Amino acid sequence: MRNVLLVVPQHQLEDAEAHLSSGESFDGGEDCVYRWTADCGNGIEVDVKVVDADKENGGPWSEAVMFEHGSEIDCTDVGEDVRGEWLFEDEGITITVIGSDEDGAS
Quote the pTM value. 0.86
Q: Per residue in 21-75, pLDDT tens?
A: 988 777 656 677 899 999 999 999 999 999 888 777 778 999 999 999 999 999 9
pLDDT (0 to 100) of residue 106: 47
pLDDT tens digits for range 11-31: 999 999 998 998 877 765 667
Q: What is the DSSP string of the chain?
A: -EEEEEEEEHHHHHHHHHHHHH---SSSS--EEEEEEEEEETTEEEEEEEE---GGGTS-EEEEEEEETTEEEEEPPPBS--SEEEEETTTTEEEEEEEE-TTS--
Rg (CA), the chain: 14
Give the start-to-end residue ranges of the domains of the chain. 2-100
Q: What is the pLDDT of residue 50?
A: 92
Instruction: Name residue 59's amino acid.
Output: G
pLDDT at residue 30, as a whole number? 63
